[in-house]
Amino acid sequence: MAAPVAIRGQRSLLRQIREALAGGGPAQQRLDMVVRIIALSMVAEVCSIYLRRANAEMELFATEGLDLKAVHVTRMKPGEGLVGEIMRLGRPLNLADAPEHPAFSYRPETGEDPYHAFLGVPLLRGGRTIGVLVVQNRTERIYSEDEVEDLQIIAMVLAEMVASGELMTVGELEGVELAPRRPERIKGSKFAEGLAYGAAVLHEPPVASSQLLSDDVAAEQERLDAALSGLKDQIDRMLEGQHGLVDASYDVLETYRMFAHDRGWNRSLEDAVKNGLTAEAAVERVRSEHRARLGQARDPYLRERLHDLEDLNDRLLRHLSGDGSVARDLPDNAILIARNLGPADLLEYDRTKLRGLLLEEGSSASHAAIVARALDIPCVGRLTGLRDQVSEGDPVIVDGETGEAFLRPRADIIRAIQARIEVRRQRKAEFAKLRDTPAFTRDGVKISLLMNAGLDVDLESLADTGAEGIGLFRTEFQFMVSEELPRLGGQTQLYARVMDAAGDRPVTFRTLDLGGDKVLPYMEAEREENPALGWRAVRMGLDRPALLRLQLRALIAAAKGRPLRVMFPLVASVDEFRSARAFVETEVAWAQRRGRPAPSRLDVGAMIEAPSLVWHLDALLPMTDFVSVGTNDLMQYLFAADRGNPRVADRYDFLSPPALRAMEAIQRACAETGTPVSVCGEMAGRPLEAFALVALGFERLSMPATGVGPVKQMVLSCDREAARRGVSALLKSSAGSVRNEIETLARKLYLAV
């Protein structure tokens, strides 16, 4: 028998299938026609389609060459036979003599005894195997690489046509699991408080079935070549550092460049286009193959390489789109689904329609989580396998209180979550009534409640919350959401807008806190073994004085003679603060020499985040105008537990004796020297933790906008002196945490927490 010859060109096999289906008719008749066309085109004596049922069995749905009586009768259990092996592996199986394979399962009703050569490929959709396409021949032979590629292309198109209802109606597919249907509950980690119920929107949606086939192969090849060239140039520029300063992900970019120049990856894309796919469909085909092949890998290195490939495919799709935009139209109740997100990506979506965010990865300290909290969008992360378990439009619940996601929830779960959402709405209404009420404790102590910010959208919350000012403005956010290094004018404009929005209320600007987990795609630096303890924050500013001085110059210009408060992050020694403060004085003198107004009042402070400063406050405080305690970093360093690592992030508690003693020591030292002190970490925005801080003597708390209402309600119900006595007694405890005891104390004092 002559070797099979794949049909290519304008009258390709894919086009033949599409034309055959256009004639309509019963679903089974159309499926039978499809396998007949494939068998004829591939010069195969057998062509069969198996589809996955809800119980994970693979059912024979159509065949050309096997006994037709086996259709809808032959079913392979999960892992059974060669079809089960393809489903398990998620990749092609090419055998010269199929009956000799250890996984071969003989099914007499099919009549496949005479056939030896076997080629099966998975029908992949979103990394999931929804079916298997098989061709067989009597003669023992291995199918060529071109034939394998052709069958994979056909399988991709068939998968999208079946899933979109183009091949068969929903009724005709009853019982077939084209996408997950059963209710699922996935446990993750809570990144941003809140509850949401809505429709799933995939951050990188699959290419629609209507956009799979091209009419002009040459034009698609040209588009693909241009996009690949643009992608490679972009990565090369990043690696050459032409855009700026720091990128702790240098190795990731090296991996990107390796993959972008990989002949196999490029050839796979080009072959898919030559076979009649659009450039976008070619990217999706290669993506699905990699997901299926590497997604099941247990080796963390291989799984990380899959993530690199995913990002590379996303970048290539954006080059193909031409505008680089990731956002699109959303339904009114959108729940965004992604592996991970940068802050710029999240901000491109219409936040009036975005109800919640679910991520496969990330941490509560990640950029996406911080932005989600700023936008008051519930967010749950570290949801393993999320994207392969949800389809576009699926009903989804985000439970930011328990750190869970419910996919396709049951009616009783929906009713329960809607009731909880209504309770939260009523509580928000109560907090809104307190907006203009000063935060005094019951025994008359004034507690200043400020908000953390870092984005333009945060400024809208300043008036809505009743916050008394901005206790922490994260200036690095402007750098993180920008495509290139912000210039002097851009920085000045942002800082001026912040001051204008605040009016007479104080604003504390934190200088750039870059490095660690805050990496920028346009900056370059060496990879560090432990970036959280490495070259970041004020250390970077002192080593790159041009960057720090440019920012200070912008802040002084934005003040326009108004009061200015500047704070340096992660100061670990008094020498660092002394050097940083000297830069401020230099820039003020520079402005005055040019006849520009100096700030009417200049306050320069330090963030206490390094434990070393806790034991050197006697030297530091006289040099500062104020200090602020960054409890997030201080606690992770105090307990030597990375807050972004889920294995150790819960190994310590803010409400533990060592943490509370450290906070007490800072407050006492500041009180003795008359140094204004505030707390601006997560601890300040949680009512119970804020209660402990008030008991320790702190009177200035800065928190996310969503925390102002709950904390104010707590303050108004608190007797500070009674709280002080109760918490003071707990500082001597030998327990690892005194959270339960503080909760009991709060109940005894009738505290609103």
Q: What is the pLDDT of residue 308?
A: 60
CATH number of the domain encompassing residue 556: 3.20.20.60
Q: Could you tell me whether strands 354-359 and 334-338 are parallel, antiparallel, or unpaired per DSSP bridges?
A: parallel
Structural domains of the chain, count: 4
- Higher pLDDT: 288 or 47? It is 47
Residue 24 has pLDDT above 70, yes or no: no
Q: What is the pTM of this model?
A: 0.68
Q: What share of the chain is helix, strand, coil (3-state, %, to 5)?
A: 45, 15, 40
pLDDT tier, 515 (very low <50, low <70, confident <90, very high otherwise):
low
Question: Within this chain, do residues 399 and 531 fall inside the same structural domain, yes or no?
Answer: no
Which range of 414-428, 483-497, 616-630 scores highest in mean pLDDT? It is 616-630
Asked if residue 654 has pLDDT above 80, the reply is yes
Out of 321, 338, 370, pick the residue that ends a domain. 321
Provide the CATH number for the domain around residue 44.
3.30.450.40
47 assigned to active site: no
Which one is catalytic: 47, 379, 670, 680?
680
Q: Give the residue, 239 or 162, on which the prediction is more confident.
A: 162
Residue 330 phi, psi dihedral angles, 5° rounding? -115, 150
Banded pLDDT at 746 (limits 50, 70, 90): very high
pLDDT of residue 254: 59
191 and 335 together in one domain? yes
Q: Mind listing the pLDDT tens digit for each residue in 266-297?
A: 787 887 787 778 888 888 777 776 665 555 55
Is 546 found in the same domain as 638? yes
**Residue 207: pLDDT band by 50, 70, 90 thresholds?**
low
Q: Do 287 and 335 share a structural domain?
A: no
Position 463 scores a pLDDT of 81
- Would you say residue 302 has pLDDT above 60? no
Rounded to whole angstroms, the Cα distance separating 687 from 431 reads 13
**Residue 689 contacts residue 683 (beta carbons within 8 Å):** yes
What are the pLDDT digits (tens) for 211-242?
677 777 888 888 888 888 887 777 776 555 43
Last residue of a domain, one of 376, 405, 424: 424
What are phi and psi for residue 301, nearest 5 degrees? Answer: -65, -45
Per-position DSSP letters for 640-709, written without gaps between them: T--TT-TTTTTS--SSSHHHHHHHHHHHHHHHHHT--EEE-SGGGGSHHHHHHHHHHT--EEEE-HHHHH
Q: Is the pLDDT of residue 519 over 60?
A: no
On whether residue 340 sits in a domain, the answer given is yes
Q: What is the pLDDT of residue 445?
A: 95
Does residue 481 lie in a domain region? yes
Give the number of other CB atoms < 10 A from CB of residue 208. 11
Same-domain check for residues 407 and 544? no
Distances (CA, A) of 211 to 185, 215, 243, 255, 329: 33, 10, 35, 30, 18
Kindly state whether residues 34 and 155 are assigned to the same domain.
yes
Residues 441 and 411 in one domain: no
Q: Is the pLDDT of residue 588 over 90?
A: yes
Tell me if 174 is assigned to some domain: no
Mean pLDDT, residues 588-595: 92
Q: Are residues 237 and 197 in the same domain?
A: no
Which pLDDT score, from 0 to 100, does residue 524 have? 52
For the ranges 180-184, 261-265, 632-636, the maximum mean pLDDT occurs at 632-636
Annotation says 367 is catalytic? yes
530-550 residue pLDDT tens? 666 766 778 888 878 888 899
Whether residue 753 is contained in a domain is answered as no
157 torsion bin: left (phi>0), alpha (psi -120 to 50), beta (else): alpha
Under 8 Å between Cβ of 191 and 643: no
CA distances from 602 to 448, 546, 568 (A): 20, 21, 14
What was the pLDDT predicted at 720?
Answer: 94
User: Do 639 and 688 form a contact (C-beta atoms < 8 A)?
Assistant: no
pLDDT at 142 > cutoff 90? yes
In a domain, 6, yes or no: no
Q: What is residue 210's predicted lDDT score, i.e. its pLDDT?
A: 56
Judged by average pLDDT, the poorest of 255-264, 472-481, 587-596 is: 255-264
Collapsing DSSP states into helix, strand and coil, what is residue 95?
A: strand
pLDDT at 490: 87
Based on the fold, state whether residues 195 and 225 are members of the same structural domain.
no
Range 634-646 average pLDDT? 81
pLDDT of amino acid 575: 93
Query: Residue 11 pLDDT > 50, yes or no?
Result: no
CATH of the domain at 407: 3.50.30.10
- For residue 351, name the pLDDT band (cuts at 50, 70, 90): confident
Does residue 173 sit within a domain?
no
- Do 443 and 418 lie in one domain? The reply is no
Worst-scoring range by mean pLDDT, 26-30, 31-35, 712-716? 26-30
Quickly state the pLDDT bin for 146 (edges 50, 70, 90): confident
Instruction: Looking at the structure, tell me whether residues 480 and 364 fall in a common domain.
Output: no
Q: What is the pLDDT of residue 400?
A: 92
Average pLDDT in the 339-365 region?
Answer: 80
Q: What rounded mean pLDDT belongs to the chain?
A: 82
410 contacts 664 by C-beta, under 8 angstroms? no
Q: What is the pLDDT of residue 750?
A: 86
Q: Does 291 reside within a domain?
A: yes
Please state, in angstroms and rounded to a whole number, the distance separating the CA atoms of residues 246 and 514. 9
The whole domain housing 228 covers 209-321
Q: Are residues 225 and 306 in the same domain?
A: yes
Q: Is 343 inside any structural domain?
A: yes
pLDDT of residue 243: 37
* 392: confidence class by pLDDT, cuts 50, 70, 90: confident
Cα separation, 143 vs 97, whole angstroms: 11
| DSSP per position, 321-389 | HSS--------TTEEEEES---HHHHHTS-TTTEEEEEESS--TTSHHHHHHHHTT--EEE--TTGGGG
Average pLDDT over residues 301-327: 63
Domain boundary pick from 424, 447, 478: 424
Q: Check residue 164 and give its pLDDT.
A: 63
Catalytic pick among 367, 379, 670, 718: 367
Q: Are strands 626-629 and 677-679 parallel, antiparallel or unpaired?
A: parallel
Distance of CA 700 to the CA centre of its chain: 32
The pLDDT assigned to 2 comes to 37
Query: What's residue 187's pLDDT?
Result: 92
